[in-house]
Structure 1
């Protein structure tokens, strides 16, 4: 068999087996793993619970809903950090106790409106009871939201709220706040202890508590064993977790 004939036979065999005479095909490019809204959120958590909170101005806040059940807890951050601190400090614990939790990062707009959008997102997922917990700016925002949300939320915990912060007015909203409420601040934390007293006094709720702690801890730094137990008791007495199917 001549050299040309042998080459022709070889090419025919390669073609019949689907191979290329130029060598093996390059491996396909791997599909990139979807990015998550924070390092503490896994790809699975992002895929199953990631939501956008639409705002009136056309912007949005990025959020994730974790856990299942009919009782939801929204956590609002301090201004200088993302949702990961709340996830570490307390939210993951509540998920393990049967609550559905919403964590989010601020949109950069009105913080109180971000919280209201989060309440709507929880309710859209089938949550019937909603509890709000906030630290610093987040505390101011949850007091505002608790005083204005319709239908009303079921309870609110404020850790180091200001009367007004970043244009969000908690003191006026507190005057219409009739749901169960806890106001916590540290005695040596600037004006926050006085603000907590004023918010407590303005709030007409018949089920309210003021807790002024010693020291200067601010926001989520207040969540020591005592305050964690206080919050959990408050939750279980007003918003116990109700088992239920996740409404995706």
Structure 2
């Protein structure tokens, strides 16, 4: 669907508010029912509308971006020139970050996330394409597990202004997020847990730099990745505050 009118029609599908989809993060009600998603004047790549999952609140657009092996489903909302890309865990989907998508869109950011699909890197780039096509001049990355590795490992090459990574492996596939392998100098916040059964805290500790704008927070327990944001997580509010502070620092107060 290549014409501007067709793209606007395809992306006009809105989902209804839903509760109970895990994890529900933030307050989906902050996107009001009369808001519509930012429409594309022209598509960065081929796009097609998709039936949105119930986890997406009203005001969130959902579409397939790209085609064949390069296709990924992307959800986005909000407006403005400050873009925030949320990267899910391996095999994760847009529901993992749906609450934060709504919360930060309501706070004035242009936000996007994606289904992991066959390749997390493909989805990451598709979501970034959508953010830039809808007006983002600068972007920040937030990711869980391998999504955190992508966020930190590609921040320098893709020009991110800030990164928050939850339980990131230091290396995932061909993406090396270790501080020694990257030149990213913006705010970088990493979370890990002492007994994470999937990614040891010592592995995640290789991602942040050794300076006061790059911090690793290690907590007790077995939380991994998106579990930091689950409704029953003791650390969820703190992580949200850290995300907000990192965005404020990265974009400028």
TM-score, shorter chain, exceeding 0.5: yes
1:219 aligns with 2:219: no
The question of 1:234 aligning with 2:243 is answered no
Does residue 99 (structure 1) correspond to residue 114 (structure 2)? The answer is no
Q: Which residue of 1 aligns with 2:51?
A: 36
Q: Which moved more, 1:185-194 or 1:164-173?
A: 164-173
Q: Deviations over 1:39-98 (max 9, x none)?
A: 3236x646xx3344448x85211102111121111111112431112112x221111211
* 35 and 175 in structure 1: CA distance in 2 versus 1, 3 angstrom threshold: closer
Name the CA distance, whole Å, in 2 between partners of 1:105 and 1:84: 9
Q: Counterparts in 2 of 1:80-229, with a 5 A limit? A: 80-88=91-99, 90-109=100-119, 111-149=120-158, 152-171=159-178, 174-190=181-197, 191-200=199-208, 203=209, 207-223=213-229, 224-229=236-241
Contact 1:116 1:145 in 2 (8 A): no
Aligned length: 199
- Cα pair distance change 1:124/1:234, threshold 3 Å: same
Structure 1 position 162, deviation (Å): 0.3
Quick one: distance in 2 between partners of 1:53 and 1:75? 16
Distance 1:240 1:160 in 2: 26
- Structure 2: gaps spanning 5 or more residues: 1-13, 15-48, 230-235
Aligned to 2:40: none
Q: In the superposition, relative to structure 1, how do residues 186 and 204 fare at CA in structure 2: closer, same or farther (>3 Å)?
A: closer
Partners of 1:226 and 1:206 lie apart in 2 by 18
**What TM-score results when the alignment is normalised by the length of structure 1?**
0.70
CA distance in 1, matches of 2:203, 2:177: 10
Contiguous gaps of at least 5 residues in structure 1: 1-32, 242-248
Distance in 1 of aligned mates of 2:50 and 2:166: 31
Question: CA distance change for structure 1 residues 237 and 169 in 2, over 3 Å: closer, same or farther?
Answer: closer
Deviation by residue 1:169-192 (Cα, 9 ceiling, x = unmatched): 323785222222111111111443
